[in-house]
Amino acid sequence: MELPTIQQSLFVLFTSYVMKWLMPKLMALLKGDKKTVEIHEKEWKKDVVYLYQFPRSPHMPNMSPFCLKLETWLRANDIKYEVRQTWTQRSSKGQLPFIELNGEQIADSQLIINALSRKFNKEDLTTLTQSQIGAARAVDRLIECSFIQAIVAFKYLEHLPELISGETIGLKWIPKVVTDVAAMFIKPTLREKLHSQGFGRLTREEQLEQARLDLQAIADVMGKNKFILDDEPHTVDFTLFGHFATFYYLPFDIVLKRMVRNEFPTLLDHMERMKERFWPDWNEHLAA
Ligand SMILES: N[C@@H](CCC(=O)N[C@@H](CS)C(=O)NCC(=O)O)C(=O)O
């Protein structure tokens, strides 16, 4: 094997250093100044929710679990909304989704659902017992704080080039080499995040076992119910759906898909039940 020349090695080192320095600056530029919240929809209609989220993908209405969770919740609750698709806009918190309602921005899917539940009188809490409210919060956080680590490990880290390829995200014109290089730069950040949280220090087998325990806990809380808490969906069902559907309907195999399919049939049924009930027009909301 031929060793790289000193010039080549220096070039690679220099480029990596510049990219590391440049990337956060480019991202900050893209996301804009977060101190002032700009309302994009100047001609807003009263009580219409303007939902800012990533564009549709060819395999699911949204590849972001948080966007899919929120849009499904809006549909389920018959709230009037208009989608604003964006790759570049971000909320005051620097993320998607966010909404604008009556000239105000609300960011973070959880906070949005809470605010809309109050505004449109859709609160779960009136129909649930105290112990169900506790279970709902526990399962919701289990998904978004614990199981999400397994999603990062097995969906993002193990499949990043396929996940962000133009084919998967619906931008077929982007050459594969570009998304492969982007994946190379994104991977270390994901790895660092998982490592500092602790999950990244486990072996693959240990990580799978943690994922399995989380899924078992959700399946145990659900028991024979049609939805997690009883036979009707509540907010936590939308959280589960958002996170599950966005890995399950991806066009490549993931170890978590196999785990859900082979070991947790009630959770698979839950996802399909949610899809049938709230997205009978699923295919009409996929990117061409
Ligand atoms: N806690 C937030 C999480 C939202 C989130 O993590 N969004 C990701 C996409 S799935 C994001 O916007 N990341 C920043 C980026 O892509 O620039 C919520 O529930 O809305």
CATH number at residue 261: 1.20.1050
> Does the pLDDT at position 22 exceed 60?
yes
Task: Examine the fold and report which residue of 124, 151, 171 is the final residue of a domain before the chain moves on.
Answer: 124
pLDDT for the residue 29? 64
Say yes or no: 204 and 70 in one domain.
Answer: no
Task: Examine the fold and report which residue of 124, 155, 186 is the final residue of a domain before the chain moves on.
Answer: 124
Residues 83-102: pLDDT tens digits?
999 999 999 999 999 999 99
94 alpha carbon – ligand 1 mean position (Å): 8
Give the domain extent around 165.
Answer: 127-279
| C-beta of 53 in contact with ligand 1 (< 6 A) | no
Where is average pLDDT lowest: 33-37, 81-85, 161-165? 33-37
pLDDT for the residue 4? 72
Is 266 part of a structural domain of the chain? yes
Confidence at 50, pLDDT banded by 50, 70, 90: very high
> Does the pLDDT at position 33 exceed 60?
no
pLDDT for the residue 49? 98
Name the residue of 66, 98, 144, 189 to mutate for ligand 1: max ligand atoms within 8 A of Cβ.
Answer: 66
The percentage of the chain sitting over the pLDDT mark of 90, rounded to a whole number, equals 85
95 alpha carbon – ligand 1 mean position (Å): 4
pLDDT for the residue 5? 75
Is 41 part of a structural domain of the chain? no
Give how far the C-alpha of residue 179 lies from the chain's centroid of Cα atoms, to the nearest Å: 19
Q: At what angle do helices 235-248 and 65-76 cross, to 10 degrees?
A: 130
Say yes or no: 135 and 186 in one domain.
Answer: yes
Nearest to 96 by CA among 169, 31, 20, 43: 31
Q: How many domains does the chain have?
A: 2
Task: Examine the fold and report which residue of 124, 149, 177 is the final residue of a domain before the chain moves on.
Answer: 124
> Does the pLDDT at position 6 exceed 80?
no
Is 146 part of a structural domain of the chain? yes
pLDDT for the residue 206? 98
Pair of tokens at residue 205: 């087998």
pLDDT for the residue 7? 72
Instruction: In whole angstroms, give the CA distance from residue 172 to residue 169.
Output: 8
12 alpha carbon – ligand 1 mean position (Å): 31
Mean pLDDT (whole number) for 178-196: 97
Say yes or no: 90 and 120 in one domain.
Answer: yes
